[in-house]
Amino acid sequence: MVAFKLLSLATLVAAAAAQNATIRYMPFGDSITEIICWRAKLWDKLQTTEWKNVDFVGSGKTENNCKNTKYDRDNEGHSGFLAIDIANKKQLVGWLQKNPADVITMHLGTNDIVQQNKAVADIITAFSTLVQVMRDSNPKMKIVVAQIIPMGMGSYNTKIQDLNKQIVPWAQSKNSTNSPIWVVDQYTGFSGSSDLRDGVHPNDSGDTKMMNVWYPALINAFSVVQKSRVQEREEMEARAVKFTA
Ligand SMILES: *[C@@H]1O[C@H](CO)[C@@H](O)[C@H](O)[C@H]1NC(C)=O
Ligand SMILES: *[C@@H]1O[C@H](CO)[C@@H](O)[C@H](O)[C@H]1NC(C)=O
Ligand SMILES: *[C@@H]1O[C@H](CO)[C@@H](O)[C@H](O)[C@H]1NC(C)=O
């Protein structure tokens, strides 16, 4: 009887601690996640909210002259990488092992289209593999997937729009209660001329636009993580009460 009581007390303490644990967010993608300043702007904006303690995670710490000494630079943005390669080489498996996350954003596909003219269907297949890797790492991963920004050079935007169009039904087909996928539109309203510094990467106005698109989706994802932790705690407490009664 005493042992049961101790056990349930330990469970309660663990549940309370889990509820309080820092939420971990991984910005995942290519150079449009690595060598940009939307992460700095996002971190700044979060400092004014209840989510200021959210921990950005990832193996990279690239700074892009964002003139911000304070922000959490940790990210999993890899310049030049293709979604198809990351999926085939299983790279995200190790990245998430090193830096587990509760919430992840994914902006990928640009290099698949621009560098190698990959088929949209193959990019979508890679996205499915990546989502499975995320869920193998954390069955409750909250996933925010971007419809990607336009390019300011070449004639890639038709294919980019084709990919963006297919992301919606794909995400719906992969959606789940434990691990929801939210699609955000980084394309609409983003100018291939005045929001890019080099035809590919956002400049200051582009960074602000991207941040403003990620922000509400992330706030929502963080609150879903928090709610499910509270719910788990309540369920554990209910079980503990039954145990001791
Ligand atoms: C959880 O956080 C609250 C507010 O920051 C604090 O008062 C409380 O002691 C924390 N509980 C645990 C178990 O860490
Ligand atoms: C997935 O489900 C969540 C609710 O859990 C919903 O908010 C979201 O819009 C859905 N995603 C898609 C792509 O329909
Ligand atoms: C962004 O870059 C474009 C040209 O690449 C320029 O026309 C525009 O003024 C820049 N805007 C900002 C806010 O840096």
What is the C-alpha to C-alpha distance for residues 156 and 110, in angstroms, rounded to an integer? 9
228 lines ligand 2 (CB under 6 A): no
181 lines ligand 2 (CB under 6 A): yes
User: Which ligand lies nearest to the CA atom of residue 169 in the structure?
Assistant: 2
What is the C-alpha to C-alpha distance for residues 30 and 95, in angstroms, rounded to an integer? 14
- By most ligand atoms within 8 Å of CB, the mutation choice from 181, 183, 231 for ligand 2 is 181
Position 96 scores a pLDDT of 98
**How many residues are present in the chain?**
245
What is the residue with the minimal CA distance to atom 3 of ligand 3? 194
User: Which ligand lies nearest to the CA atom of residue 17 in the structure?
Assistant: 1
Q: Structurally, how many domains does the chain consist of?
A: 1
**pLDDT tens-digit profile of 58-106?**
999 988 889 998 999 999 999 999 999 999 999 999 999 999 999 999 9
- pTM beyond 0.85: the answer is yes
> In degrees, to the nearest 5, what angle opens at C-alpha 55 toward C-alphas 54 and 56?
115
Distance from residue 50's CA to the centre of ligand 2 (Å): 23
* CATH (domain of 220): 3.40.50.1110
Q: Ligand 1: which atom is nearest the Cα of residue 17?
A: 13
Position 2 scores a pLDDT of 57
145 lines ligand 2 (CB under 6 A): no
Going residue by residue through the chain (245 aa), what tens digit of pLDDT does each one get? Answer: 555 666 677 777 777 777 778 999 999 999 999 999 999 999 999 999 999 999 999 999 988 889 998 999 999 999 999 999 999 999 999 999 999 999 999 999 999 999 999 999 999 999 999 999 999 999 999 999 999 999 999 899 999 999 999 999 999 999 999 999 999 999 999 999 999 999 999 999 999 999 999 999 999 999 999 999 988 888 888 887 776 66
Position 4 scores a pLDDT of 60
Position 244 scores a pLDDT of 65
With 0-12 / 13-18 / 19 or more C-beta atoms within 10 angstroms meaning exposed / middle / buried, residue 55 is middle
User: Which ligand lies nearest to the CA atom of residue 233 in the structure?
Assistant: 1
Per the DSSP assignment, residues forming a β-bridge with 106 are 28, 145
User: Which ligand lies nearest to the CA atom of residue 209 in the structure?
Assistant: 3
Distance from residue 206's CA to the centre of ligand 3 (Å): 8
Q: What is 129-178 written as a DSSP string?
A: HHHHHHHHH-TT-EEEEEEPPPPSSTT-HHHHHHHHHHHHHHHHHH--SS
Domain interval for residue 151:
2-244
What is the C-alpha to C-alpha distance for residues 84 and 95, in angstroms, rounded to an integer? 16
Position 3 scores a pLDDT of 58
Distance from residue 99's CA to the centre of ligand 1 (Å): 24
What is the C-alpha to C-alpha distance for residues 202 and 191, in angstroms, rounded to an integer? 9
Q: Ligand 2: which atom is nearest the Cα of residue 182?
A: 11
- By most ligand atoms within 8 Å of CB, the mutation choice from 170, 174, 179, 182 for ligand 2 is 182
